[in-house]
């Protein structure tokens, strides 16, 4: 297996999701210093009398409230069980066999059948192996003795240490979630790019061609501006188009893959949450199943990559529907060597094994430093993120 350090990539992705700086990586927009107008309490580090380890706790404390937020987001459709993982690592694809006229039912006197009898009929087989391991390590230092003076009981101390360890868990979860987002963003790019699959469904263009909306429409905002009736008509059209495309992905064809071999599989669907909720709150209950929206099970994602900033405009529609990928001189994705950027992407559908993630190995190691009396704990994560264009992938874009 080949190992690839992805710390900087993950740090950038996390910063974009947070819309703020993370590990020296900034989000899309510069944050303003608005915090200066608010009194949020003085940081304990400036108050003196702190314990010497984390420098965050007052030595004597009457009551301690531990804030332990939990981050548990993930894209379930991408997860692969360890039992199924072998089928994701190496794959063999078989083209369809040729057919011939059956001589058994059309026997001709004097015909030489040896050319049929002894000819080799070898199927075309394509094999891929997926062996790129992405690895991360998350460290944590714990020093118990110097923490003791800040607590009145072992229970409080243990709760605080548990809170410290939760930072490891949350960091792991948000890092993996952002790597999942990067994978589906790559899926969007290969579907949209004219250098790759070039099979994206351009919903506004097709709706204009079918007479659903006027040809003056240039964006989703223009459709909303047409009024509730036109907006609903467009949403019905989108739902029907997504449902039809999903059904087509489950038929044997090369319509949505790279054309190597015809494929078929269960189709997964991921929608931008803001767009999905437009269906839920704009359509009559009789038109769509409240949970399924008329096109089967699906998942929602807040943004493909980033939010605009913090504040009420953080989830600007143009920003949350944008995929932006740096230039790659090796053209690994097949989308070309130039940078890729596209907004208005509201959905992605794919055949089950076209994209998948497996946490191949998660292991915790620790080490004790006697002279300073502290423990270092290291969470090691090794995983593989598969994007296979031999299987169908198709994006839905509002343009």
Residue range 178-197, pLDDT digits in tens: 888 888 998 999 999 999 99
> Residue 317 phi/psi, 5° resolution?
-60, -40
Residue-wise pLDDT tens digits, 31-52: 322 222 122 223 334 444 455 5
The per-residue pLDDT of the chain, averaged, comes to 77
pLDDT for residue 70: 56
pLDDT band for position 5 (50/70/90)?
low
Are the CB atoms for 322 and 299 separated by under 8 Å? no
Return the pLDDT at 191: 96
Taking only Cα atoms into account, the Rg of the chain, rounded to an integer number of angstroms, comes to: 27
Confidence of residue 208 (pLDDT cuts 50, 70, 90): very high
117 or 8, greater pLDDT: 117
The whole-angstrom separation of Cα 198 and Cα 301 is: 23
Q: Would you say 363 and 160 are in contact if contact means Cβ atoms under 8 Å apart?
A: no
pLDDT score for 38:
21
Strand order in the sheet with 201-202: 201-202, 393-397, 345-351, 267-272, 299-301
Confidence of residue 66 (pLDDT cuts 50, 70, 90): very low
pLDDT of residue 267: 93
> Is 313's pLDDT higher than 60?
yes
Q: How many whole angstroms separate alpha carbon 314 and alpha carbon 221?
A: 17
Please tell me the predicted confidence (pLDDT) of residue 380.
Answer: 86
For 334-345, b/e burial (b = at least 16 CB within 10 A) is ebeeeebebbbb
pLDDT, position 34: 20
Confidence of residue 235 (pLDDT cuts 50, 70, 90): very high
> What's the Cα-to-Cα distance from 91 to each of 187, 250, 262, rounded to whole Å?
19, 19, 14
pLDDT at 173 over 90: no
Which is higher by pLDDT, 132 or 18?
A: 132
Six token digits for residue 35? 């915090």
d(CA 316, CA 256): 30
Neighbours of 107 (CB within 10 A): 8
| Mean of pLDDT values over 152-175 | 79
Are the CB atoms for 321 and 337 separated by under 8 Å? no
Q: Are 206 and 215 in contact (CB under 8 A)?
A: no
């Amino acid at each position: 297996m080949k190992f690839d350090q992805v710390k900087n990539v993950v740090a950038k992705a996390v910063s974009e999701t947070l819309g703020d700086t993370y590990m020296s990586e900034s989000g899309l927009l510069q944050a303003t210093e608005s915090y200066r107008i608010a009194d949020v309490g003085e940081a304990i580090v400036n108050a003196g009398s702190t314990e010497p380890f984390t420098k965050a706790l007052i030595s004597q404390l009457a009551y301690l409230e531990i804030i332990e937020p939990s981050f548990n987001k993930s894209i379930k459709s991408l997860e692969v069980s360890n039992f199924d993982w072998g089928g994701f690592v190496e794959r063999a694809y078989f083209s369809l066999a040729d057919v011939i006229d059956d001589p058994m039912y059309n026997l001709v006197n004097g015909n030489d059948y040896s050319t049929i009898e002894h000819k080799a009929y070898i199927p075309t087989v394509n094999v891929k192996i997926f062996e790129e391991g992405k690895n991360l390590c998350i460290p944590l230092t714990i020093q118990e003795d110097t923490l003791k003076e800040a607590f009145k009981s072992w229970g409080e101390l243990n709760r605080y240490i548990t809170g410290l360890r939760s930072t490891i868990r949350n960091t792991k979860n948000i890092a993996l979630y952002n790597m999942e987002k990067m994978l589906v963003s790559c899926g969007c790019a290969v579907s949209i790019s004219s250098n790759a699959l070039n099979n994206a469904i351009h919903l506004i263009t097709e709706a204009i061609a079918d007479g659903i909306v006027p040809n003056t429409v240039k964006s989703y905002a223009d459709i909303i501006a047409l009024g509730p009736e036109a907006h609903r008509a467009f949403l019905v059209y989108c739902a029907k188009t997504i449902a039809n495309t999903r059904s087509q992905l489950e038929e044997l064809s090369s319509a949505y893959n790279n054309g190597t071999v015809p494929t078929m599989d269960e189709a997964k669907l991921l929608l931008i949450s803001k767009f999905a909720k437009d269906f839920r709150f704009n359509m009559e209950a009789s038109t769509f199943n409240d949970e399924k929206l008329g096109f089967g099970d699906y998942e929602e994602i807040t943004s493909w990559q980033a939010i605009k900033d913090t504040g009420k405009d953080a989830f600007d529609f143009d920003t949350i529907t944008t995929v932006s990928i740096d230039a790659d001189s090796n053209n690994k994705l097949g989308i070309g060597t130039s940078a890729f950027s596209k907004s208005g992407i509201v959905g992605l559908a794919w055949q089950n094994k076209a994209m998948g993630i497996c946490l191949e190995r998660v292991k915790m190691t620790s080490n004790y430093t006697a002279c300073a009396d502290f423990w270092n704990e290291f969470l090691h994560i090794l995983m593989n993120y598969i994007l296979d264009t031999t299987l169908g992938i198709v994006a839905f874009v509002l343009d």
